[in-house]
Structure 1
Amino acid sequence: MAHRWQNDLTHKDITPEPLFWNRRKILAGLGGVGLGAIGGGMAQAEASPLEPNTWEEVTSYNNYYEFGTGKTDPSEYAGQLTTSPWSVEIDGLVDRPGSYGFEQILSEMTLEERIYRFRCVEAWSMVIPWQGFELSDLLALAGVQAGAKYVAFETLLRRDEMPGTRYPVLDWPYREGLRLDEAMHPLTIMATGIFGKPLPNQNGAPLRLVVPWKYGFKSIKSIVKITLTDQEPPTSWNMANAREYGFYSNVNPTVDHPRWSQATERRIGGGLFARREPTLMFNGYEEEVASLYAGMDLTKNY
């Protein structure tokens, strides 16, 4: 069975931008869903064609409440965010705690940075070519200690540049968390760009989390702090409404959100009356990640 990603592509293999727009040359991962590591020598999975969404769709339909609750608010207001210089504080149960500059991180990751394409699902879906590196590689810079069980994240809080944070929509700053084995999985990446370009502000510049089997739930943007801990960390949506948002928040068509169903999805770009398609368990990555939850009741641990 074909895999949805490969770990043998580097910056030398990145597809020139014009090829991104030649959609007939872009193939998806297994069964027409998921991820294919793509580059100049694009990995050809046994798959049916799956077109990526357009730049306009990817950059103008976003959830980023620090800039407003509307889907177009981030593209309208995020341009005022200052993203350079940037640093990420890594602390907690690590051997080398400290502030890691974004350029330092990139210099360490140059040989490992890849292009990934994930199929991203919430109640809607789109296909996005992400540029980035595995989160596990970043954590290795700080040295994960044996007692660590969870990874906590925080987003930048800068009220003068983030108009949405002037309102108590959430308890700012935005917080997210993963269990350590979820964070160390090779599908869990830190994204630095899309379509071979630096990440736009509205998409979470300069560094954001992408967890494809949790997309729409675990997508923290503009990260400034990462903490390794032995305790399950608080997360913003769980703090705001624990009934609707559990800590695990997997894409699971058998567990409905109290206000909508995860059973089907609508592709962004297909129009208002686009046909809804069945949502796949773990967003189509069941073979790769189901073992992380062996023995767990995913209805209870949603």
Structure 2
Amino acid sequence: MLLRTRQEIPSSEITSQSVMREFQRNRRQFLAGLGTMAGAAMLPRTMFAATKLNASPTKYNLGDITPQSKVTSYNNFIEFGPDKSDPERNAQSMHVRPWTIQVDGLVKQKKTIDIDTLMKLRPIEQRVYRFRCVEGWSMVVPWDGFSLGEFLKTLDPLPSAKFVQFFTLHDPKQMPGVNSSGVGPQGYSEGLRMDEAMHPLTLMTFGSYGETLANQQGAPIRIIVPWKYGFKSPKSIVRIRFVDKQPETTWNDLNAPAYGFYSNVNPSVAPWRSQERERVLGSGFLPKIVGTQPFNGYGNEVAHLYAGMDLRVNY
């Protein structure tokens, strides 16, 4: 079992002006959300229906679980809007069935896989992972899925494949913010080195809290890489491509100094804001501020992947 070392911050810092400004912003979002909830109550219940998943828990665990309501109402999904509350409001009309994933690139045989067939490939596990955003907030979520690496093996990538690239849905009709998001017509893209993708911690994710993913969380399928910043966990995946060179990725293309390709959690690197501390979502009226751990607390499991690399350069 993983152990978490807490680095609490003095109360004088917790009540600093920056934290209080953030608190006031959250309070305004909460009050605005009351109106959203009232409107949602009038919509058909089937729009928000979630299927229960039969997931068995695993040993991975790092922290106190964040309330589900917080996780499903505070999301980064720029194709549905720039604010954290936009995805919950705007993503409900996205159609997640039928859904297929195209597999191509350096692979023995190109193929198209149906999501329902994919979900039956292996038993679904529940893994409680800490999820850390480059914006300075974190949450702990019970994600449901199975090893990405085990799935990638079934695709028979060629030995020359050194990276795997993921593309997400790009549909302006369903995604009201996609044209202003900076995401190109091929869709949001992310990439991992093959050994990162094959690591046992990397999860091909179909659900959370024992239910299928909500649309705003990246339904029907996303990736979770717990030792990296959240933007390295692409949502609503429609294509997987194997390549021999480091692929272009959306955030790295848009702002490389702030969003390095590797994006391992490194508190000592602050390309656009300090990463030494984080705000724990759902931790109470005054949010808890804690010290950020290298590799998001998963260093014992993944640090060997980067032996000999300068992590201030390859952040």
Specify the code of the residue in structure 2 equivalent to 1:249: S
Specify the code of the residue in structure 2 equivalent to 1:137: E
| TM superposition score normalised by structure 1 | 0.83
- 1:146-225 correspondence to structure 2 within 5 Å: 146-172=159-185, 173-225=187-239
CA-CA distance at 1:55 after TM superposition: 1.4
Match of 2:73 among 57, 60, 74: 60
Query: Aligned equivalents of 1:273 and 1:82: distance in 2?
Result: 37
Deviations 1:47-66 (A, max 9, x none): 9x943111110100000001
Aligned residue number for residue 305 of structure 2: 292
Alignment of 1:88 onto 2:101: yes
Query: Aligned equivalents of 1:211 and 1:60: distance in 2?
Result: 21
Alignment of 1:114 onto 2:125: yes
- Report if aligned partners of 2:58, 2:126 keep a CA contact under 8 Å in 1: no
Specify the code of the residue in structure 2 equivalent to 1:114: E
- 1:243-254 correspondence to structure 2 within 5 Å: 243-254=257-268
Match of 2:287 among 262, 267, 274: 274
Deviations 1:42-85 (A, max 9, x none): 6678x9x9431111101000000010010000000100100001
Query: Aligned equivalents of 1:250 and 1:105: distance in 2?
Result: 28
Query: Aligned equivalents of 1:127 and 1:153: distance in 2?
Result: 24
Query: Aligned equivalents of 2:56 and 2:221: distance in 1?
Result: 26
- Report if aligned partners of 2:267, 2:293 keep a CA contact under 8 Å in 1: yes
Specify the code of the residue in structure 2 equivalent to 1:274: P
Query: Aligned equivalents of 2:192 and 2:59: distance in 1?
Result: 31
- Structure 2 residues without counterparts, runs of 5 or longer: 7-53
Specify the code of the residue in structure 2 equivalent to 1:275: K
| TM superposition score normalised by structure 2 | 0.80
Query: Aligned equivalents of 2:214 and 2:119: distance in 1?
Result: 17
Deviations 1:126-184 (A, max 9, x none): 11000001111221221121111000000001110000112253334101000110000
Farther off after superposition, 272-281 or 140-149: 272-281
Aligned residue number for residue 140 of structure 1: 153
CA-CA distance at 1:226 after TM superposition: 0.5
Specify the code of the residue in structure 2 equivalent to 1:96: Q
Alignment of 1:103 onto 2:136: no
- Report if aligned partners of 1:217, 1:250 keep a CA contact under 8 Å in 2: no
Aligned residue number for residue 261 of structure 1: 274
CA-CA distance at 1:243 after TM superposition: 1.5
Query: Aligned equivalents of 1:224 and 1:197: distance in 2?
Result: 21
Farther off after superposition, 235-244 or 137-146: 137-146
Identity of aligned residues (%): 44
CA-CA distance at 1:191 after TM superposition: 0.6
* CA shift in 2, pair 1:184/1:163, >3 Å: same
Query: Aligned equivalents of 2:70 and 2:131: distance in 1?
Result: 13
Alignment of 1:30 onto 2:3: yes
The Cα RMSD (Å) is: 2.0
SS at match of 1:104: helix
Higher RCO (CA < 8 A, seq sep 6+): 2
Query: Aligned equivalents of 1:55 and 1:229: distance in 2?
Result: 36
- Report if aligned partners of 1:32, 1:50 keep a CA contact under 8 Å in 2: no
* CA shift in 2, pair 1:40/1:89, >3 Å: closer
Instruction: State which structure, 1 or 2, has the greater radius of gyration over its C-alpha atoms.
Output: 2
Query: Aligned equivalents of 1:91 and 1:278: distance in 2?
Result: 41
Farther off after superposition, 63-72 or 164-173: 164-173
CA-CA distance at 1:272 after TM superposition: 6.5
Query: Aligned equivalents of 1:60 and 1:108: distance in 2?
Result: 30
- Structure 1 residues without counterparts, runs of 5 or longer: 3-28, 34-38
SS at match of 2:4: helix
SS at match of 1:221: coil
Query: Aligned equivalents of 2:85 and 2:181: distance in 1?
Result: 20
